[in-house]
A and B are shown apart, each in its own frame.
Chain A
Amino acid sequence: MAILTKDEAKKILDKVLSYSKADEMSASLSGGRLGNIRYARNAVSTSGESDNLSLSVMAVFGKRSGTATINEFDDASLEKTVRRAEEIARLAPENPEYMPMLGPQTYLAANPYAESTAKMTPDFRAQATFDSLDPCRKKNLTAAGYMEDSTRFTAIANTKGLSAYNRETSVEFSVTVRTADGLGSGYATRDVTDVSKLSTKEATEIAMQKAQASASARALEPGKYTVILEPAALLANVDASLMAAMMNSFDARSADEGRSFLSKKGGGTRLGEKLFDERVTIYSDPTNPEVPASPFGGGGGGGGQGRFNGGSDGRPQEKVTWIEKGVVKNLSYSRYWADKKGVKAIPAPANFIMEGGTQSLADMIKSTEKGILVTRFWYIRPVDPQTLLYTGLTRDGTFYIENGQIKFPVKNFRFNESPVIMLNNLEALGKPVRMGGNLIPPMKIRDFTFTSLSDAV
């Protein structure tokens, strides 16, 4: 498997940089293994595993840069790649926004790697799938699911002395269970760094319960409702989501340029303004043991597959508070824009953590007089970037709550809502859970806007 140690990677990178004739050169070596298994109609449909190891070299002359990549590592190949990157750089147009490379950096000790995941085998994947399929087959339910595991490393170095290494693992699992008559559908998703913490059976059982409980849904009039949004409705790792959409819009430049929900009337940004309910606090921290992330990245992260060396500029990921008690505390910056504005170049985060309360989902339902429980949203797309208005639909388990109890399943709704409005109409926050590498609490929201009904199950 193509997981190089820190020393093995450094040896190759040092060699690459020693060939440089450019003003500046950086190199990124990354690789790993990607495994997956997919099933539908209660049978495995595809499975696969791929290894990859790739080196990407960026050469810079003045403000001209060029990138070349290779997956052979003998000296001659390395030197050839360096020369090719230099050649491309010489012919490239100047990028007036190019920023000189960073020197040595200090990184937090994050550990997003678990040996159990790195050791996953095809047999393990098959067993995890069996654990999900078997209970569905026995109950005459139909399962479709997917599990993807990733074990990878990234090492970067440049001629200014910057050097960084990270290895990480992740497993994402999701399952949709449908009743035989197609009238009920339930969903569950999990993501972990350490696969020993994943039970596909436990997740599937929740999806099975939701499938059975959601059959024969009744129609409610569209309108404004109190909703309890489960974490999978707020953040998704397979589609756009309201919270990721908002957190991805914390770019300072767009706000300064007047084309963001964080742009201020009359110019400037809304940094320092209270835009949300005071219970809203969101920060990022690569060292959080529940959602560990790479301690470096920035400028859009990336670089992991060695596609574009510019993807990772080596900036440290630190603990950053984005929203504190409803007040916007920080925005993310490209190095160019931070330099222009004379501020610290805080990179876009590698994860985010939203503070919540101690209530479980069951507690939140119990304290609800009238409302709707939403398992997940689907096909979320931006409608108006000015207000961060998004549209999308409920899916795979939507229920009516009355007097603290789930009364009956309801037909799916289309919503048109902004996460900014949603986080002002906050009623309660539950205990945060991991979703897509982030921590997010279930939320109770009043006056959530459903605009039409859908017949979809």
Chain B
Amino acid sequence: MNRRDFNQLIGMGTAGILMPALPAFSRSVEPEALLEPGVDVAMKKRLADAAMNAAKSKGATYTDVRIGRYLNQFVLTRENKVQGIINTESYGVGVRVIANGCWGFASVSDARDESVVAKAAEKAVTIAKANARLLTEPVQLAPQKGFGEVSWKAPITKNAFEVPVKEKVDLLLSANAAAMKNGANFVNNVLFMVNEQKYFASTDGTYADQDIHRIGPSFTVTAVDPQNGRFATRNSLSAPMGMGYEYLQVNPSDKLSGVTTRYNKGYDMLEDITSAAKQAKEKLSAKSVEAGKYDLVLDPSHLWLTIHESVGHPLELDRVLGYEANYAGTSFATLDKWQAKNFNYGSKEVNLVADKTQVGSLGAVGWDDEGVKTKKWDLVKDGILVNYQAIRDQVHIIGEKESQGCCYADNWSSVQFQRMANVSLEAGKTPLSVQNMIKDVKKGIYIIGDGSFSIDQQRYNFQFGGQLFYEIKDGQIAGMLKDVAYQANTREFWNSCVAVCDQSDYRLGGAFNDGKGQPAQSSAVSHGSSTTRFNGVNVINTARKI
């Protein structure tokens, strides 16, 4: 129990809400500080040039500099109480170099002086030269043209840090009150907001200034049946988004009605928490699932996590090559399967794309953390594995001439490496609504919301739970189920995909803190899909007696 996670740190205990990790070296600040401008662009350029010149004079053949200011705000509540409001800022500079064919990295916090970043650059060269002695093959960096002085801003309409803390607290507490009024026994409700102000410069001649915003509302409602000693929870159906506060503005066109309301680019917290309170209670007396084969109809609020684990991770080239073997693992999707050009990852309905440009997604940026302009590319086309996610020092291995632009570091103090792009399932091309999809299912389960998740280190065998499970009998929703989890093999699962709803049902889900690497770094990534049907999936009953 050496490593206490953030949940325990702030005393959230078993509330079950996943909290994003704070960037390294964060310091607490007052909310107003989150709106103060950071170091101006001209100064950043001077700092970057100082670092690049210093590295070059020590023998570096390539240098990139990342000047990062990372701002976070967390509003934490339970029932009618504010548990905490946390505002943090982390600012510093990371310098990465190639010297003697080897990578070296060093960073420095609170750097506002050219001599300080120059010193960090020199240290990075020293480390590169030291590590070069253990080198087996020199770094091969894919060429990248310089873009000059450029900038990118997330297309948000309302900066969440401009919204007074009181307004956020009022929203959360009024939502909590609605939950309690509708039968909840407990509610934990949190709101995270992130602003990454990142400046990237490299000896290729790019100076990119970027402004990235993310927001993540998340609650857990608990219903308790003390007589029977049972409890049930229902988590929010919100998604963390690459958006501003506009995500929390209620907009009828962002709602999808059905057995429960689901949300697209605008989230109605009050409505969702009211449903959650009722559904948590309903779960207590829901029918326990009978184990067996079912056709699954998976809502995007659920399917994003299955895509993340069974497609996003196995198609990361560094995992395929073995760089993550001691931690997250390797991949079943080995190079020979890609080279064969006929490896059916999924059925013909399955088109999976990686996309670092998708508006509103967590992973959207203009340039990645090694100066590559972001793009969209195919991973699985008509069911066939066609590509991976790779960065500049890997793309030569898959015969590409330029990087796909998915390099990322979670902080100025972390070294950048290959991270998952937004990986999404493309919507079906023929018109199909959720209602019509369900109509054809004889024996199935409709799953909404993400729950328990686990997958092996090569991404073959997985098991997923969910938030809401509805039995489908002869094309009709027959009622709520509980104790549901499905187990499958990645390739069998994606080959059992028989239909994908059309674009009108397409939505994003996502993870605020996907972990990878040692020391661990977190990254935020979205996954889009429409409701999708998978036939004959093995469902287990998870009820036990203790």
Contact = CB atoms under 8 A, between A and B. Distances in A.
Interface of A: 34, 36, 38, 40-48, 50, 52, 54, 56, 67-71, 84, 87-88, 91-97, 122, 126, 129-130, 142, 144-146, 148, 170, 174-176, 178, 182, 191, 237-238, 244, 247-249, 251, 253-254, 257-261, 263-267, 275, 299-302, 307-308, 310-311, 334, 348-352, 378-389, 391-393, 395, 412, 414, 416, 418, 420-421, 436-438, 451-457
Given A378-B456, A414-B461, A420-B546, A455 B85 contact: no
A383 B106 CA distance: 41
Interface string B369-391: 00000000000000000000000
Contact of A251 (B14, B230, B321, B324): B14
Contact of B487 (A142, A382, A451): A451
A282 to B, nearest CB: 12
Main secondary structure of the interface of B (DSSP, over half): loop
Contact of A391 (B88, B225, B454): B454
CB-CB nearest 5 A-B residue pairs: A265-B229, A454-B461, A144-B325, A456-B458, A144-B326
A383 B485 contact: yes
A29 B358 CA distance: 43
11 contacts: A43-B135, A68-B28, A144-B323, A257-B222, A259-B14, A259-B222, A302-B9, A348-B1, A453-B461, A455-B460, A456-B456
Contacts of A437: 1-2
Interface string B495-507: 0000000000000
A260 B14 contact: yes
B327 A238 contact: yes
A301 B9 CA distance: 7
A350 to B, nearest CB: 7
Contacts of A129: 134
B257 interface: no
A308 B10 contact: yes
B46 interface: no
B483 interface: yes
B86 A438 contact: no
Contacts of A38: 518
B324 to A, nearest CB: 7
A444 B93 CA distance: 51
B488 to A, nearest CB: 9
A308 B454 contact: no
B15 to A, nearest CB: 9
Interface stretch (B240-248, B261-269, B537-545): B537-545
Contact of A144 (B11, B231, B322): B322
A352 B1 contact: yes
A452 B487 contact: yes
A92 B85 contact: yes
Interface in B406-461: 413, 415, 452-461
A29 B377 CA distance: 48
Contacts of A350: 1
Interface stretch (B19-27, B199-207, B346-354, B471-479): B19-27
B546 A418 contact: yes
B235 to A, nearest CB: 12
A95 B85 CA distance: 11
B127 interface: yes
B463 A414 contact: yes
Contact of A308 (B28, B327, B485): B28
Nearest to A455: B460
A38 B322 CA distance: 13
Contact of A387 (B332, B453, B545): B545
Contact of A93 (B1, B82, B186): B82
Interface range on chain B: under 10, 10 to 19, 20 to 34, or 35 or more? 35 or more
A170 B2 CA distance: 10
A438 B26 CA distance: 29
Interface in B191-220: none
Given A237-B3, A384-B544, A454 B8 contact: no
B8 to A, nearest CB: 4
A334 B413 CA distance: 34
A451 to B, nearest CB: 6
Contacts of B13: 251, 253-254
Given A265-B227, A307-B22, A412-B456, A48 B322 contact: no
Given A36-B519, A97-B81, A176-B325, A258 B460 contact: no
A50 B107 contact: yes
Contact of B325 (A178, A237, A438): A178
A70 B81 CA distance: 28
A348 B4 CA distance: 11
Given A34-B519, A247-B1, A259-B231, 16 more contacts: A68-B29, A95-B84, A146-B327, A170-B2, A275-B546, A300-B8, A301-B4, A301-B9, A308-B28, A348-B8, A378-B457, A391-B485, A393-B454, A414-B461, A421-B544, A451-B463
Interface string B298-326: 00000000000000000000000111111
Contacts of B456: 378-379, 393, 395, 412, 414, 454, 456
B425 to A, nearest CB: 22
A43 B136 contact: yes
Nearest to B541: A416
A148 B11 CA distance: 27
A263 B229 contact: yes
A388 B233 CA distance: 14
Nearest to A57: B28
B454 A380 contact: yes
A392 B224 contact: no
B108 to A, nearest CB: 10
Contacts of B28: 56, 67-69, 88, 307-308
Contacts of B29: 68
Residue of A50, A244, A349 most packed against chain B (CB within 10 A): A50
A361 B260 CA distance: 52
Contacts of A382: 452
B61 to A, nearest CB: 19
Nearest to B482: A384
A334 B10 CA distance: 11
B542 A248 contact: no
Residue of A71, A170, A261, A381 most packed against chain B (CB within 10 A): A381
A50 B460 contact: no
Interface string B517-546: 011000000000000000000101011111
Contacts of A237: 2-3
A56 B2 CA distance: 21
B109 interface: yes
Contacts of B330: 178, 182
Nearest to B108: A50
A254 B185 CA distance: 12
A413 to B, nearest CB: 9
A455 B103 contact: no
B489 interface: yes
B480 to A, nearest CB: 16
Given A258-B229, A391-B452, A308 B9 contact: yes
B515 to A, nearest CB: 10
Contact of A452 (B81, B135, B231, B461): B461
B1 A351 contact: yes
Contacts of B465: 383
B78 to A, nearest CB: 9
B228 interface: yes
A56 B28 CA distance: 8
Contacts of B227: 265-266
Contacts of B489: 455
B322 A41 contact: yes
Contact of B14 (A70, A254, A275, A301): A254
A455 B458 contact: yes
Nearest to A247: B1
B185 A311 contact: no
A351 B1 CA distance: 6
A45 B543 CA distance: 44
B169 interface: yes
B53 interface: no
Interface in B175-201: 185-186
